[in-house]
Structure 1
Amino acid sequence: MTSTDPQPPRVALFVSCLADLLRPSVAFASIRLLERAGCIVDVPQEQTCCGQPAYNSGEADACLPLVKRTIELFEHAEYVVVPSGSCAGMICHHYPALLSGEWRQRALDLAARTWELTSFLAEVMRIDHRTQLDQSLPAITYHDSCAGLRELGIKSQPRKLLRSLCGVRIAEMEQTEVCCGFGGTFCAKMPAISAKMADDKLAAAEASGATLVTGGDLGCLLHLAGRARREGRQLQFRHVAELLDGDLDTPAIGEPE
């Protein structure tokens, strides 16, 4: 690399609690995708929760220490990339609303450099490797999570990447934009309603002809996978980062290792 060559983008990965504790393969797949796209990736070791569970439960004051700590850890990054629409939405939209004064400006600066994974790959890195249809992959349907779709406008980006990088044909389910029933703490507070919403989503996935459900929010996928196993439905669930990375060796979500 000469002095006139552009410097590779430097990305800080916000892992998210669910990936860290329940599905580390999502984080590792994200790192590999970003590195293959030409990024230098850093994973701040002191990162914790973004504060979303407390915030969604109405405990705004309780989440402020987590919010400020996240800002301190990530505010010097060129880009912050998150394999979760809900966590990215929390940072981009709710952090500035929670804070005032200097902290609000710091939150706005961080929000301007924070991206959900598929939107970053599609819109910033402009990945577009055309791949022929891969007949070996199962029929796939995509679930649009509420936060990613409504707060960040994530809809076409993951579908474009799945077609171009994986060569898959996506079987769209009816009402793909309807909530799956996870909703963060909603599924714990309203379990009967949450289960009915999950059953509706699972029925729509099966009706699409797909055998694998993917999406950009691990909470939704864990919720649906757990309900599918309880109901004996023969569906697989994988985060979109795992599919884009080509990681099909890791057991699907909810399957034994």
Structure 2
Amino acid sequence: MRVALFVTCVNDMLYPDTGRAVVALLERLGVEVDFPTGQTCCGQAHYNTGYRRQAEPLVRRYAAVFDGYDHVVTPSGSCAAMVRDNFPRIAARAADEGRDNGLAEAAAAAVPKTYELTEFLVDVLGVTDVGAYFPHTVTYHPSCHGLRMLGLGDRPR
């Protein structure tokens, strides 16, 4: 099984330890993780602010960078939702405008193998206990993208 980490541009810039923690967790569970250095942004910032066409090259880039991997894991529900929900929308809109240029193929390649981290743990690896322990009470706030666009349900818990 070939697994790649999509660390996301926000994690890369603001929370680089998140990527390291994901790799440590997955490796502890016996998963060999690659980190393709050509990865950039999923295009969510562009798309959400009305720059859909500027997001199109990022759809192609994502598909190209993660080509050959069985699974792409990201610690971001919003980025996973961007790939799975919005990449096909971007491709469909470009096709409607007569500018497909491989977007439909790129989206079709990216969508089925992109997973939010907890979804990958539960649905692919079958892991519901990662052996973590934290001796304090915490509050978990499920993300809107995770709940509504990905349908993660209780997986993060």
Band the TM-score falls in, shorter-chain normalisation: 0.7 to 0.9
CA contact (8 A) 1:37 1:121 kept: no
SS of match in other structure, 2:3: strand
CA contact (8 A) 1:54 1:60 kept: yes
Number of residue pairs matched by the alignment: 149
Q: 2:148 aligns with which of 147, 150, 153?
A: 150
| Residue 76 of structure 2: aligned partner | 84
Q: RCO higher in 1 or 2 (8 Å CA, sep ≥ 6)? A: 2
CA deviations 1:73-115 (Å, max 9, x no partner) are 1122110001000000011111111114542133122100110
Aligned identity (percent) is 42
Structure 1 residues 140 and 108: CA distance shift in structure 2, 3 A: same
| Residue 116 of structure 1: aligned partner | 116
SS of match in other structure, 1:142: coil
Q: By how many angstroms is 1:151 displaced?
A: 0.6
Structure 1 residues 87 and 129: CA distance shift in structure 2, 3 A: closer
Counterpart residue type for residue 146 of structure 1: C
SS of match in other structure, 1:118: helix
CA contact (8 A) 1:71 1:107 kept: yes
TM norm structure 2? 0.87
Superposition CA RMSD, Å? 1.8
- Give unmatched runs, 5+ long, in structure 1: 1-8, 160-257
Separation in 2 of the partners of 1:148 and 1:90?
11
Separation in 2 of the partners of 1:62 and 1:103?
13
1:58 is aligned to 2:56: no
Structure 1 residues 103 and 125: CA distance shift in structure 2, 3 A: same
SS of match in other structure, 1:75: coil
Counterpart residue type for residue 111 of structure 1: V
Separation in 2 of the partners of 1:22 and 1:112?
28
